[in-house]
Amino acid sequence: MWNTPVDIYCERLDTTFWAEPINAMTNIGFIFASFLAIYIHKKDGLNNKVFIFLSLLVALIGVGSFLFHTFANTWSGLSDTIPIWSFVVLYVFFVIKIVFNNSWVKTIFIMIIVFALSYLGLYLSKSENDNNGQVLNGSLQYSPALFFMIVYTVMLYIKKQKIFKYAAYALLVFFISLCFRTIDMYLCESLSIGTHFVWHILNALMLFLLLLTFHKSLREY
């Protein structure tokens, strides 16, 4: 069960460890983004434990994704998805609590609303023709994250926060990266390496921008 092979990307042609070298190696972008964010944070004289933890979680995303694109089985798939969604949940939580300066009770209440709406959007977005996510190559699962980033950017704009532009850049990069993730399997015949590696590179940039947004919000308080 845990070692069941997973083959959902263009670049993988067999079940060997190094069958996805480009997909695997581009995960170094997450580690670079993580430590660059920490370096900037420390250089500005800050040492916020939440920020450091979120930054290290980005590095863990890179490690988990590397394992998935090398071992490519059920357990490595979990090592890929768990850090990603842990970051999403925790980033949303601390943005609501710290960036928007809400109480714990209000933060938890807003979290419930955000994820309820995200789940509803995900549920309504599914169709009988989607064939369990194959039409969009599994990218539909990221619609809650896209939803949050849209709301996040709009709220920062409404509140006239200077960090709005960084969130907007992150949103744009994430949308483009989703497009590259989605078309990966459709381009196998014309582009054997696929486009999933671009998803890695752009997502590393997107997560760095989100960390930068959070960092700059801490500087203002």
Q: What is the pLDDT of residues 93-106, one digit of tens each?
A: 999 999 999 999 99
The answer, yes or no, to whether residue 37 has pLDDT greater than 90, is yes
Q: What is the band of 121 on the pLDDT scale with cuts at 50, 70, 90? A: low
CA distances from residue 185 to 44, 120, 200 in whole angstroms, order as listed: 43, 27, 15
Q: State the residue range of the domain holding 141.
A: 21-124+134-220
Residue 6 in any domain: the answer is no
Which H or E run contains 99?
none
Residue 4 in any domain: the answer is no
Residue 1 in any domain: the answer is no
Residue 11 in any domain: the answer is no
Residue 2 in any domain: the answer is no
Least confident of 19-33, 42-56, 58-72, 150-164: 150-164
Residue 214 in any domain: the answer is yes
For residue 129, the model assigns a pLDDT of 43
Residue 15 in any domain: the answer is no
For residue 122, the model assigns a pLDDT of 60
User: How many domains does the chain fold into?
Assistant: 1
For residue 125, the model assigns a pLDDT of 53
